[in-house]
A and B are shown apart, each in its own frame.
Chain A
Amino acid sequence: GAGVSQTPSNKVTEKGKYVELRCDPISGHTALYWYRQSLGQGPEFLIYFQGTGAADDSGLPNDRFFAVRPEGSVSTLKIQRTERGDSAVYLCASSLASGSYEQYFGPGTRLTVT
């Protein structure tokens, strides 16, 4: 079956602009996670959804970052007033249920802020 998909695969934007990154989880997976991966480092947790609600957004670095999952499936990560330090690969993962351990990752969106 289809895995986690993310669009766009690459996004280049100017400093100060607004961007949206999309994640389509595996069908039937109720848990969805966003991570950010900077060059040479492991992924860092941003936010976790169980169904439609954000169960934990403690990893979001500041209030410029926001994510939604209105129907409990597709999720969008939104970044306002982008800064050069936001440049990274944004990874989405989904798992079958809350507490189910195996998280399946998408290929990521590479965001470059110029």
Chain B
Amino acid sequence: GESVGLHLPTLSVQEGDNSIINCAYSNSASDYFIWYKQESGKGPQFIIDIRSNMDKRQGQRVTVLLNKTVKHLSLQIAATQPGDSAVYFCAEKGSNYKLTFGKGTLLTVNP
């Protein structure tokens, strides 16, 4: 199983820089992936999703890339802003409706 702990991976960037957050998933049968943003004291908030028949999807300032060969997802945030500071989770949905969340990444944007 995946190791868990209290210490999240962290990413610190300067305001205006681009951010890249990575995620590895385990289930090769997963057909749908989602990135969530979670601010302190709040529930996860949907950012962007991608289906397994795609390798790239773009939203407003965000891009998700999917590499099924190595079971890897990334979230790219363009022109990162202080309001982007949060914990980011990837989640996968397999053959059922349940979401399985990965280990989060704490993004800190320095002004």
Chain A interface residues (CB < 8 Å from chain B): 4, 31, 33, 35, 39-45, 48, 56, 59, 91, 93, 98-99, 101-108
B contact face: mostly helix, strand, loop, or mixed: loop
A40 to B3, CA, bound (A): 12
Does B8 lie within 8 Å of A40, measured CB to CB? yes
Asked if B4 is at the interface of the complex by the 8 Å CB criterion, the answer is: yes
Does A40 lie within 8 Å of B5, measured CB to CB? yes
Per CB-CB distance, the 8 closest pairs between chain A and chain B, nearest first, are A42-B101, A105-B43, A40-B6, A45-B98, A105-B44, A42-B89, A43-B101, A107-B43
A contact face: mostly helix, strand, loop, or mixed: loop
Asked if B91 is at the interface of the complex by the 8 Å CB criterion, the answer is: yes
A42 to B8, CA, bound (A): 10
Most chain B beta carbons < 10 A, residue from A48, A101, A107: A101
Does B43 lie within 8 Å of A4, measured CB to CB? yes
Given contacts A42-B89, A42-B101, A56-B98, contact A105 B49 (CB under 8 A): no
Chain B minimum-CB-distance residue to A58: B98
A50 to B54, CA, bound (A): 29
A4 to B43, CA, bound (A): 10
The smallest beta-carbon distance between B94 and chain A, in angstroms, is 11
